[in-house]
């Protein structure tokens, strides 16, 4: 299959449109010219008929009329050849011009079968002389008068050859075809030159885009021409797309680096414990096995959360239904009460409206479990955690507030990033994925999350879910 360039297609369509317009105009002019020539010829024939009819009122004899007709025929030999036939009222041929002799088969012209020709109407007939023949414009009219002393009705038939008219039309057609070819050549040439200037910005964009790779994506962008036209807008859109690609690549690289680091740490610990036991089997202690088991649990949790995020990104398992928030929160709190009691942490729950949102119960369960688990994990003994469910501006608002150590202001913008952890000596170790999962799930439900925190005073997470709420109260 022949591959046509964008530039070629533009020129092709321009030429096709120009060709169709010119062809229509040329056909119209050719038709008008043909009609004009036929009208002029018919007027001239009518003029001659009037002139010839007058002879029959002057009392000229047949010999005088034949002489007059022969002179008329000779006078038209150089342009439109003239043929004349005269019949009596009874159909007998009285005169036939001498130039009809070669056309032996010219019927009804010059034949007694004149009734085959409608009187007073123009016809086009083919005169065959056995060689190439010719087309004629013929008309037959009744004439009443006298030849000499004999007064009676006659039929006068005259014809003019159409060869000169056809020659004019053929010359006109040839001129039109030559003009069309010339105009098409001019259109192709100018179209190719003009489209070269129009397509040049696209070629520049292609050349610049070919130079962009993952290695230079950070500092390489397409250049604006400053014209403010469609090409500049295209460049702006492509540059914004490159910005998004760059950000995505950075996130992927960061994610890969952090994931490798997080996986390597427990693997290194486990490897160290196993190598130590292999070197000193007599020093097998429960605490070393317990340490290796804890690292395996941490690695298992990390893999589960990575798999959870991957499925969340791909949209797997995200079927929604009506979820009663109060029942969901109470179910989670019942699971966490023993853990909170073991650390002497008091959890209070208050609901001011029974609310239902449209969402995925398993994902919402994971969100609230992560936040409450963090609230317990980062609290000191004797701390308090307050959970509040209210309706605010047609949104379901869930607040989780603690009086723990708080989060420093410089960390707040990053806590929802994957693998981000606050590097504090007193902070418990984690995967750095818990809050990232929370943010992804809240975004999936069309909600938003706010964080308010002060050092040594505590942290509050406010979750808002959209207006698709059904009040059960």
Question: β-strands 458-465, 469-471: how paired?
Answer: unpaired
* The pLDDT of residue 468: 61
Decide if pLDDT at 429 tops 60: no
214 or 210, higher pLDDT: 210
Q: What is the pLDDT of residue 114?
A: 46
- Identify the CA nearest to 321 among candidates 279, 266, 358, 277: 358
Describe the crossing of helices 230-279 and 286-314 by its angle, rounded to 10 degrees: 160
Nearest to 191 by CA among 8, 24, 19: 8
What is the three-state SS of 64-110?
HHHHHHHHHHHHCCCCCCEEEEEEECCCCEEEECHHHCCCCCCCCCC
Tell me: pLDDT of 395 over 60.
Answer: yes
pLDDT digits (tens, 9 = 90+) for 261-282: 667 767 777 777 777 777 877 7
pLDDT of residue 318: 65
Which pLDDT tens digit goes with each residue over 181-190? 999 999 999 9
pLDDT of residue 30: 92
Q: Residues in the chain, how many?
A: 473
Task: Please check the confidence at residue 313 and state whether its pLDDT lies above 70.
Answer: no
Beta-carbon count within 10 A of 449 CB:
18
DSSP states along 325-386:
HHHHHHHHHHHHHHHHHHTT-EEEEEESS-EEEEE-HHHHHHHHHHHHHHHHHTPPTT-EEE
Return the half-sphere exposure (C-beta side, CA atoms, 13 A cut-off) of residue 38: 13
Q: What is the pLDDT of residue 4?
A: 76
pLDDT tens, position by position, 99-152: 887 776 545 555 545 444 557 788 887 777 666 778 888 888 888 777 666 677
**Tokens read off for 78:** 């150089």
Q: What are phi and psi of 275, to 5 degrees?
A: -60, -40
The mean pLDDT of 207-219, rounded to a whole number, is 82
Question: What's residue 37's pLDDT?
Answer: 92
SS3 for 57? Answer: helix
Q: CA angle, 343 as apex, 340 and 344 as ends, to 5°? A: 80
Q: What is the pLDDT of residue 29?
A: 92
- 3-class secondary structure, 233: helix
Average pLDDT over residues 433-443: 84
Q: How far is the C-alpha of 406 from the C-alpha of 453, rounded, in Å? A: 5
Sign of the Cα torsion 238, 244, 247, 248 reads negative
Hey, what are 266's tokens?
Answer: 């427990």
SS (H, E, C) 7-39: HHHHHHHHHHHHHHHHHHHHHHHHHHHHHHHHH
pTM above the 0.85 mark?
no
Rounded Cα distance between 25 and 21, Å, is 6
Stretch 222-227: mean pLDDT: 83
């Amino acid at each position: 299959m022949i591959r046509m360039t964008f530039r070629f297609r533009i020129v092709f369509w321009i030429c096709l449109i120009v060709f169709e317009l010119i062809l229509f105009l040329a056909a119209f002019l050719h038709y008008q010219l043909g009609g004009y020539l036929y009208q002029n010829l018919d007027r001239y024939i009518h003029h001659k008929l009037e002139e010839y009819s007058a002879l029959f009122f002057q009392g000229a004899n047949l010999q005088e009329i034949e002489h007059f007709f022969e002179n008329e025929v000779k006078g038209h030999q150089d342009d439109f050849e003239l043929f004349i036939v005269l019949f009596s009222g009874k159909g007998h041929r009285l005169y036939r011009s001498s130039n009809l002799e070669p056309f032996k088969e010219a019927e009804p012209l010059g034949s007694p079968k004149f009734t085959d020709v409608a009187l007073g109407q123009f016809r086009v007939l083919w005169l065959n002389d056995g060689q190439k023949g010719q087309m004629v414009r013929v008309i037959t009219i009744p004439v009443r008068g006298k030849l000499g002393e004999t007064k009676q009705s006659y039929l006068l038939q005259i014809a003019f050859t159409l060869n000169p008219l056809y020659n004019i039309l053929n010359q006109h057609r040839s001129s039109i075809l030559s003009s069309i070819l010339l105009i098409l050549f001019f259109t192709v040439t100018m179209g190719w030159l003009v489209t070269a200037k129009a397509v040049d910005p696209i070629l520049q964009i292609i050349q610049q885009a070919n130079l962009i790779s993952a290695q230079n994506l950070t500092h390489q962008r397409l250049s604006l021409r400053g014209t403010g036209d469609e090409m500049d807008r295209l460049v702006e859109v492509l540059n914004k797309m490159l910005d998004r690609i760059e950000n995505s690549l950075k996130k992927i690289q960061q994610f890969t680096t952090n994931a490798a680091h997080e996986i390597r740490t427990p693997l290194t610990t486990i490897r160290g414990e196993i190598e130590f036991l292999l070197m000193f089997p007599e020093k097998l202690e429960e605490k070393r096995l317990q340490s290796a088991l804890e690292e395996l649990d941490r690695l298992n949790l990390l893999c589960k959360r990575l798999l959870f995020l991957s499925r969340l990104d791909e949209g797997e398992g995200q079927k929604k239904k009506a979820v009663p928030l109060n029942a969901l929160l109470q179910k989670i709190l019942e699971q966490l009460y023993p853990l909170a009691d073991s650390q002497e942490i008091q959890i209070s729950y208050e609901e001011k409206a029974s609310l239902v949102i449209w969402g995925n119960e398993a994902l919402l369960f994971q969100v609230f479990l992560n936040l409450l688990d963090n609230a317990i994990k980062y609290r000191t003994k004797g701390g308090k955690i307050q959970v509040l469910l209210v309706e605010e501006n047609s949104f379901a608002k869930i607040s989780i507030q603690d009086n723990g150590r708080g989060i420093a202001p410089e960390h707040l913008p990053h806590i929802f990033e994957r693998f981000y952890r606050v590097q504090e000596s007193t902070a418990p170790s984690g995967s750095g994925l818990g809050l990232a999962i929370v943010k992804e799930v809240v975004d999936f439900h069309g909600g938003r999350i706010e964080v308010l925190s002060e050092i040594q005073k505590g942290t509050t997470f406010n979750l808002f879910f959209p207006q698709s709420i059904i009040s059960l109260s």
